[in-house]
Chain A
Amino acid sequence: MKLDKYLDRSLWVFHLNTGSCNGCDIEIVALLTPRYDVERFGIKLVGSPKHADVLLVTGPVNRKMLPRLKLVYEQTPDPKAVIVVGTCGSSGGVFYDSYNIVGPVDKHIPVDVYVPGCPIRPEAIINGVLKAWLKLERLRGFSGVEIEKKIEEVNA
């Protein structure tokens, strides 16, 4: 897996709903509106996991969605990052220990960033994508100090 500096300025995001209540999904769509406008960071919502760099997974994983979740994860070409959006996907939330839930997401696919909240604020998702970007930086061989410096730059 070869990482490149172009990756972090052009993250294409695929959104997968694994049984969410649609609250988080509405907040994800809000990211594209003029108020938040994530396209200025090169983040684009794409329609196919084959085009994506980042998977945004919402919802506790129910039984029917589990094979699809794994399939979509495998269909996403490397290098990739997975972001779980919302409390349900992070821990199960109110659906914890239900008979029809096999989640949370990290039981089945490797997850890089958790964005808890019910529903999350759009700012939190932007922050989560930024964290995923830092994970890709770490894979590229940057040390902790350099990444700290990058965070400073981004915050400033």
Chain B
Amino acid sequence: MSGGSIIIFILNIFGALIIAILGILVGLFYKGIDRKLAAMLQSRVGPPIRQPFLDFFKLMIKENIVPENAIPWVFNGAPVLALVSTVTILFYIPFGPIPALLGDSGDLILIAYLLAIPAIALVAGGFSSGSTYASIGAQREMVLMMSYELPLVTTIIGLGWRLNLAYPGLKVFSLAALSTNPIWGLVGPLGFLGALLLLLTLVIVTPAELSIVPFDIPEAETELAGGVLVEYSGRNLALFELSNAVKMIVMGTLTIALFFPYNIAHLLSITGFFAYIINILFFFFKLFIVIFFEATLIRVALARLKIDQASTAYLIFLSATSLMGLLLIAIDYII
């Protein structure tokens, strides 16, 4: 290894640490905003915005109970795996004007796989905790996961495929390429409609990824007493809460990078360092808007579905929607 590559390696490690810490802080902050907004939509006062931080620290000092008939290494390992895989996604996603740390070495396909790992960790943790409630929750989580993968992947493939037709030879699945050439500029009116359908698909897949109402069937507090998380307490539960908070900004950032990668500074004719700051602030504003529509509004407006309804909604209706979007983009290209 030469001297330069060692320096890059060390810089990457420091960058990864900073991104992980910032990601967790921003995730908890947005979770607080989400809870406050949800409360205000229900005409309540709601918890203070720092509430997720308080919850996290409280859970860290609570007793950590491992059930007698659990498999301890899977039971304790699952929350760590969930958090680590979610934080890893942050290294591959560009945050508005800030390019991704490891953007060259991973693309959208990798992110799609990494997004599945927290769900798998939940399933493993649920099955290993030796509770019947948790097993039912884990089975539902598996069904849900298999249902929403197809529409999600169709969206990703659709965007990549259209980009490949426009610029052959580009690394089409890299998020840098996708966010410099947003889909809206590549397509005509029909394709615009198709892209809207793909956006709708991503927005509806997000609540299931975050396991919030109406797709929180694996955790259903009123029927399953917390479902997959029923046996988790203390530190392990805190780690799951963290990974969920980080996943929220991951899904928001992914939506922004794929569909709204626009910056505002050049419109205001600001340049230099100040433009960078403005762009970052604008990115956080976009993240706020996206999370409001992807998570808060949906979870306040709708009630929980049954697992068969959710599975049908994803496997049939949403898959049809995304395939229709793909078809419209294809027709748009042929015409």
Interface residues of chain A, those whose CB is within 8 Å of chain B, are: 2-4, 6-7, 9-10, 12, 34, 37, 39-42, 46-48, 50-51, 53, 75, 77-79
Q: How far is the CA of A10 from the CA of B32 in the complex (A)?
A: 13
Q: Which residues of B contact A34 (CB under 8 A)?
A: 42-44
Is the pair B226, A48 in contact by a Cβ cutoff of 8 Å? yes
Choice from A39, A51, A53 contacting B39 with Cβ under 8 Å: A39
Is the pair B57, A47 in contact by a Cβ cutoff of 8 Å? no
Given the interface pairs A39-B44, A47-B222, the reply to whether A77 lies near B234 with Cβ below 8 Å is yes
Q: Which residues of A contact B46 (CB under 8 A)?
A: 37, 39-40
Is the pair B237, A51 in contact by a Cβ cutoff of 8 Å? yes
How many Å from the CB of B10 to the closest CB on chain A?
A: 35
Given the interface pairs A37-B39, A47-B222, A48-B226, the reply to whether A10 lies near B58 with Cβ below 8 Å is yes
**B237: nearest chain-A partner, CB-CB:** A51
Is the pair B57, A50 in contact by a Cβ cutoff of 8 Å? no
Given the interface pairs A40-B46, A51-B233, A77-B64, the reply to whether A4 lies near B58 with Cβ below 8 Å is yes
Residue of A4, A10, A48 with most partner-chain B CB within 10 A: A48
Given the interface pairs A10-B54, A42-B47, the reply to whether A47 lies near B221 with Cβ below 8 Å is yes
What are 16 inter-chain pairs, A to B, with CB distance below 8 A? Answer: A6-B61, A9-B58, A10-B51, A10-B55, A39-B35, A39-B47, A40-B48, A42-B55, A47-B222, A48-B229, A50-B226, A50-B233, A53-B62, A77-B65, A77-B234, A78-B62
How many Å from the CB of B79 to the closest CB on chain A?
A: 13
Asked if B141 is at the interface of the complex by the 8 Å CB criterion, the answer is: no
Chain B binding surface, main DSSP class:
loop
Is the pair A77, B61 in contact by a Cβ cutoff of 8 Å? no
**B224: nearest chain-A partner, CB-CB:** A47
Asked if B231 is at the interface of the complex by the 8 Å CB criterion, the answer is: yes
Q: Total number of A-B contacts with CB less than 8 angstroms?
A: 82
Is the pair B226, A7 in contact by a Cβ cutoff of 8 Å? no
Q: How far is the CA of A46 from the CA of B233 in the complex (A)?
A: 12
Q: How far is the CA of A12 from the CA of B55 in the complex (A)?
A: 9
A7-B61, A42-B55 given; name 5 further pairs at CB < 8 Å: A2-B61, A10-B58, A40-B46, A51-B233, A78-B62
Residue of A2, A7, A37, A39 with most partner-chain B CB within 10 A: A39
Q: Which residues of B contact A39 (CB under 8 A)?
A: 35, 39, 44, 46-47
Q: How far is the CA of A6 from the CA of B55 in the complex (A)?
A: 7
Is the pair B226, A46 in contact by a Cβ cutoff of 8 Å? yes
Q: How far is the CA of A9 from the CA of B57 in the complex (A)?
A: 10
Is the pair B233, A4 in contact by a Cβ cutoff of 8 Å? no
Asked if B119 is at the interface of the complex by the 8 Å CB criterion, the answer is: no
Given the interface pairs A6-B57, A77-B64, A78-B62, the reply to whether A50 lies near B232 with Cβ below 8 Å is yes
Asked if B230 is at the interface of the complex by the 8 Å CB criterion, the answer is: yes
**A1: nearest chain-B partner, CB-CB:** B63
Is the pair A75, B65 in contact by a Cβ cutoff of 8 Å? yes
Q: How far is the CA of A78 from the CA of B61 in the complex (A)?
A: 9
